[in-house]
Amino acid sequence: MYRCGTDAMSSFDRVCEWRLAADGKRDRFRMENVASAGGLAAELQEKYCDGMDRCYGALIMENALWKEALSLAFHDDMRLASRASWALEWAYFHNRDAFAPYCVTFFEDFLRVTNPSVHRHYGKILYDMLRCGLFVPDDFQAAQIAERAFDLLTGGKIKSAVRIWAAEILYELSPRIDWVRENLEDIIRHQIETMPTPAILNHYGKLLKRMAGKK
């Protein structure tokens, strides 16, 4: 059962306050044109700055641009794809219910996406979908997710944040998949020893405590 609450944001005007026109007035007309014209990709190609995940996340959420945002994960411009996935993450966490119809599409995209920067945001979203029960994969889908997450957890030149969310995904699937349950703890302990970044040490330490609590 889906058990995460929804914290929908409706004040698109408020979250876009940072976007000011040259004369000091809010460039509201331009933002509305982006939404109505489906120009999310063109807008995201501009210089990115703090707060744009909130602004474009609200744009996605309030104008139902979920499909367009999902498609941008595969854009040839890897920077644009990363920005779109960052905005999509914000939109997802502020209105999971609106995202629910796209869960299967997102699951399929998670398996196919190759952009390392997109992996970070997609892993976090998928972990939450599994944790909340927003997406309950069947056995075949769960096996596919586990295989992909395992590759992201153990592959070379993978960013710490990507490994962390891959480990969390595998943790959620461990009650259902024997090989995950039997190997995940050893992999986590090995990575703590061999790649002790602050993020790995902090997050894996907490994950190990959760795993110990389940024994």
Ordered by start, the domain boundaries in the chain are: 8-99
Quick one: DSSP state of residue 8?
Answer: -
pLDDT value of residue 52 = 72
List the single range of 33-37, 134-138, 162-166 with lowest mean pLDDT.
33-37
SS (H, E, C) 136-189: CCCHHHHHHHHHHHHHHHHCCCCCHHHHHHHHHHHHHHCCCCHHHHHHHHHHHH
Task: Give the closest residue to 40 by CA, choosing from 9, 93, 77.
Answer: 77
Q: Which residues of 195-208 are buried (b: 16+ CB within 10 A; e: fewer)?
A: eebeebeebbeebe
**Which pLDDT band, with edges at 50, 70 and 90, does 56 fall under?**
confident
* Chain segment 108-122, per-residue pLDDT in tens: 999 999 999 999 999
pLDDT at residue 9 tops 50: no
Average pLDDT, the chain: 84
pLDDT at residue 100 tops 50: yes
Q: Which two tokens stand for residue 98?
A: 């609106």
pTM greater than the 0.85 cutoff:
no
pLDDT value of residue 155 = 95
Q: Is residue 21 classed as helix, strand or coil in its secondary structure?
A: coil
Bigger pLDDT: 54 vs 179 = 179
Strand ranges (E), the chain: none
pLDDT value of residue 39 = 67
